[in-house]
Structure 1
């Protein structure tokens, strides 16, 4: 009887220690996760642009082609700007980054509101403002991803999916607000975006931090070693390095944490605490890692295992990390497989973004099909409130479809990969459906039902691509360089979007009435741009097929 207590007491002690370890950060982490939902929601206004873009450009006397330029600047701010945004987040942490992003969002939207109110005709100024809005939004969004997934390393997928879902669902929320409270009042809507998004993100920055525990590092090492398939010597070295993680290991890096998959760099402030218990072993571990780094020159693999809690030792790691990122970029831009994936993503995402940013004009063209009763003299003919409602509805449908596509893609790609099928099969099928969606746009003259179907198809295809591609990139090039690789992939749509959007605007302006600015020809206002998109989709389909054939034995 006396033998039983000694067996029970150690278990209770372990449990109490574990509870003591986890409880201090549990509530702040949950608060940060909840606030991340609100911040991500307020950051997701970029894809809402299509709901008010026709009214904005008509009010200030610009053309549809000018609207395409504005959309491109938004993409530059959010796409290309995403890479420096990630570096800022990793250096200064989520709180400072979100605070900075909130100021950008408020200043940009409030400036757009004043431009709209005063009918200030300046394409350059509008482009600068929308580019700033894109950069501020993506900075806040990436920061919520970093915090959510770094705070919940054992539930990284679920934690990351929450702000991702909020970001993707934002256009739907703002579309409902637009129809309910700002129908026919575009100026008031833009003013609302400025104050609501700016204030929510600014206040949210005070609640979003990374709370890091010692045990989380062991989970991080497990993810780093098992989260991808080694495909070359670089990845093999990474795997070997992670087989026996040092007890003292504390990394500055969570590769790609500001992406959907949450494996990115961690700010030194958030991982400053380190254990002193086994410091005697740290020197030998550090030397071993230094040799591996010199051989591989891998980005984002700078370990600070032997780092004592002093800021001095952080500086060399920062330099190596920076040089490693540039080294990864140099390797990728000459890598044939990466360039092939880049080409496919550039076409598919570019077509999706063209539709998202142009849907307002498409709906307007279909609404005014053969309606010539509003033709009159003057330079400005306001868009009918019913047309504005249809714009908001289509933006909402695209948002829901994109959100659903992203959600389904993650589970589906893991499922087929587990059954020895390539993830590229999802991309292949998605491109086919994207072609069908464009075919509907080419053939549909003025049916609101068919435009709704095309919005659902195009939105879901866009979501499927962005939900599947991160895993494809991680499988091919590993997770240690994921943030750099994914940042490069996201720049691909810029050129495609510029070409297609400009072509869309050129066709639309050429068929519009010079007095009212409306186009009365239905699908004839934009048909050619989606015919070109179908050709590009066909090319992407062929390239995807070749890549799948090449990798048929690698699954």
Structure 2
């Protein structure tokens, strides 16, 4: 007589870990809220647009350049160590930035300010990577669903903090920085307590038992599930042990194999990447498009300030600050929508025998539209169009790119491969942000306060303050569209070649 299936012993704990990971991720996307406080920070510390962009670039550097070392820490010592590092770095970075703001920069040099920004980026990267790894490991047959929660939290992070700030600390940059320091510290610390990662084999057996609760009419489906579970034990265990950013919502929620996904199983990592043409293709694509997004994300506050000063020079700074917070929230929400849409969309494409690269073409096309808006828009009331399009394109880019990396190089070395790939935003993000800062500085004048101490850099030329920077990013976006289309053609040629080689071997 058959016994009823035993209840899943770890299911509740795994669900709790997903909730904890989402809480952690909600604290990790705060770097995208840089424009909510950076203009006021620059004014108080008498920093130029170029100097404040150095601080923002330091945050981006911490976010993207430490992917490999933080991944090694998480893989060797466990995800809680990654979250602990993130907790300390996030809290310390934002608290120090608040102290510098309150002291009006007295005793704080550019190197120190950049170090504070760097800490916030390191903390975000380390804690977020740990949260994704736990979800991907604990739910091997439902990774797309499990990782969608922290990914969504990451995208909504800036929106959460700016929304709370507008209620709790209206027109108070010091209060916002205090909220960022305390909020990120408490949220990541609390999430770390409930974050647990379970042995892979036991989870697969547990989920396999649950699959047999289905009706007997699904015998063939149960057979495929059992086979899929055995493959997961053999193939996916190395993935979850070495990857900190494996499988965004790009893995299918269905167990149906994809013609693209299973036709070829590469295993390329480490220095071998340098000998792979696909590495350079993907690296250039990510560089072309991510830098475009980062320029607007880091400078939407400066753009709003320039347009409003041109429209009405007498407008109060408190109104401009509220508009800056609004644009950060718009970018955050649309980044979330872009991540979600590209994940689901790329799965749809793969399961209909199409290329994931079409998602990149879409992202690049939206980026191109956003740059046209940036070049032509002069009414600050319509600036939400630039914010929304940038957030949507940037979210779509990063929602699909980890899957493209896994498809090209295999999942085993995903942690190192993704860390190497994310050096691209560091390069182009720095170039485009510094270009924007220098162009804005060249059109700005210094206004002295009544006491001779409050110095504010203002450009009242409207879109002419920064338009040259958007010509640069427009060119990058157009090249990104063409480059993505060429990647689709190359992928089709390679797939056709592999199919021919397979037929030759069978013959």
Q: After superposition, what is the alpha-carbon deviation per residue over 1:471-515, rounded to whole angstroms, capped at 9, x for unaligned?
A: 222222221222222211111011111111111011111111221
8 A contact 2:73–2:82 mirrored in 1: yes
Q: CA RMSD in A?
A: 2.6
Partner residue of 2:149 out of 162, 165, 172: 162
8 A contact 1:68–1:505 mirrored in 2: yes
Equivalent residue for 2:240? 254
Partner residue of 2:472 out of 532, 538, 543: 532
Runs ≥4 residues deviating over 6 A: 218-221, 242-250
Q: Please list, as runs of the form range in 1=range in 2, the aligned pairs for 1:264-343 lying within 5 A after superposition.
A: 328-343=269-284
* Stretch moving more, 520-529 or 32-41: 32-41
Q: After superposition, what is the alpha-carbon deviation per residue over 1:236-287, rounded to whole angstroms, capped at 9, x for unaligned?
A: xxxxxx9976999995652554215179xxxxxxxxxxxxxxxxxxxxxxxx
Q: After superposition, what is the alpha-carbon deviation per residue over 1:12-55, rounded to whole angstroms, capped at 9, x for unaligned?
A: 3xx13xx2xx22x2222222222222211122211111111101
Equivalent residue for 1:542? 482
> What are structure 2's unaligned runs of at least 5 residues?
209-227, 250-264, 448-455, 497-507
Equivalent residue for 2:74? 89
8 A contact 1:255–1:482 mirrored in 2: no
Q: After superposition, what is the alpha-carbon deviation per residue over 1:185-244, rounded to whole angstroms, capped at 9, x for unaligned?
A: 1011101211121122123212111123634356999xxxxxxxxxxxxxxxxxxxx997
Relative distance call for 1:298 and 1:548 in structure 2 (3 A) is: closer
Partner Cα separation in structure 2 for residue 443 and residue 499 of structure 1: 22
8 A contact 2:148–2:248 mirrored in 1: no
Partner residue of 1:186 out of 159, 170, 173: 173
8 A contact 2:94–2:116 mirrored in 1: yes
1:468 and 2:404 matched: no
Partner Cα separation in structure 1 for residue 205 and residue 348 of structure 2: 26
Partner residue of 1:388 out of 311, 314, 321: 321
Partner Cα separation in structure 2 for residue 541 and residue 246 of structure 1: 36
Q: Please list, as runs of the form range in 1=range in 2, the aligned pairs for 1:414-429 lying within 5 A after superposition.
A: 414-429=347-362
8 A contact 1:255–1:479 mirrored in 2: no
**Partner of 1:205: helix, strand, or coil?**
helix
Partner residue of 1:124 out of 101, 111, 118: 111
Partner residue of 1:66 out of 35, 51, 67: 51
**Partner of 2:2: helix, strand, or coil?**
helix
Partner Cα separation in structure 1 for residue 179 and residue 289 of structure 2: 32
Partner Cα separation in structure 1 for residue 242 and residue 295 of structure 2: 27
Relative distance call for 1:336 and 1:248 in structure 2 (3 A) is: closer
Equivalent residue for 2:224? none
8 A contact 1:97–1:140 mirrored in 2: yes
Partner Cα separation in structure 2 for residue 528 and residue 143 of structure 1: 39
Equivalent residue for 2:3? 11
Relative distance call for 1:431 and 1:384 in structure 2 (3 A) is: same
Larger Rg: 1
Equivalent residue for 1:6? none
8 A contact 1:369–1:446 mirrored in 2: no
1:347 and 2:339 matched: no
1:412 and 2:345 matched: yes
Relative distance call for 1:355 and 1:549 in structure 2 (3 A) is: same
Partner Cα separation in structure 2 for residue 408 and residue 297 of structure 1: 27
Task: State the TM-score, normalized to the length of structure 1.
Answer: 0.76
Task: State the TM-score, normalized to the length of structure 2.
Answer: 0.83
8 A contact 2:165–2:179 mirrored in 1: no
* Residue-pair matches, total: 451
Equivalent residue for 1:278? none
8 A contact 1:145–1:257 mirrored in 2: no
Partner Cα separation in structure 2 for residue 340 and residue 213 of structure 1: 33
Relative distance call for 1:256 and 1:90 in structure 2 (3 A) is: closer
Equivalent residue for 2:255? none
Report the Cα offset of residue 135 of structure 1: 0.4
Relative distance call for 1:477 and 1:183 in structure 2 (3 A) is: same
8 A contact 1:369–1:520 mirrored in 2: yes
8 A contact 1:98–1:202 mirrored in 2: yes
Partner Cα separation in structure 1 for residue 78 and residue 339 of structure 2: 26
8 A contact 1:217–1:249 mirrored in 2: no
Relative distance call for 1:28 and 1:220 in structure 2 (3 A) is: closer
8 A contact 2:83–2:192 mirrored in 1: yes
**Partner of 1:454: helix, strand, or coil?**
helix
Partner Cα separation in structure 1 for residue 311 and residue 234 of structure 2: 73
Report the Cα offset of residue 412 of structure 1: 0.8
Partner residue of 1:133 out of 95, 120, 123: 120
8 A contact 2:21–2:131 mirrored in 1: yes
Relative distance call for 1:330 and 1:51 in structure 2 (3 A) is: same
Equivalent residue for 1:102? 87
Report the Cα offset of residue 439 of structure 1: 0.6
8 A contact 2:334–2:392 mirrored in 1: yes
Partner Cα separation in structure 1 for residue 242 and residue 322 of structure 2: 39
Partner residue of 1:356 out of 267, 272, 297: 297
Equivalent residue for 2:373? 440
Relative distance call for 1:447 and 1:133 in structure 2 (3 A) is: closer
**Partner of 1:119: helix, strand, or coil?**
coil
Partner Cα separation in structure 1 for residue 183 and residue 229 of structure 2: 48
Partner Cα separation in structure 1 for residue 240 and residue 362 of structure 2: 32
Partner Cα separation in structure 2 for residue 251 and residue 478 of structure 1: 13
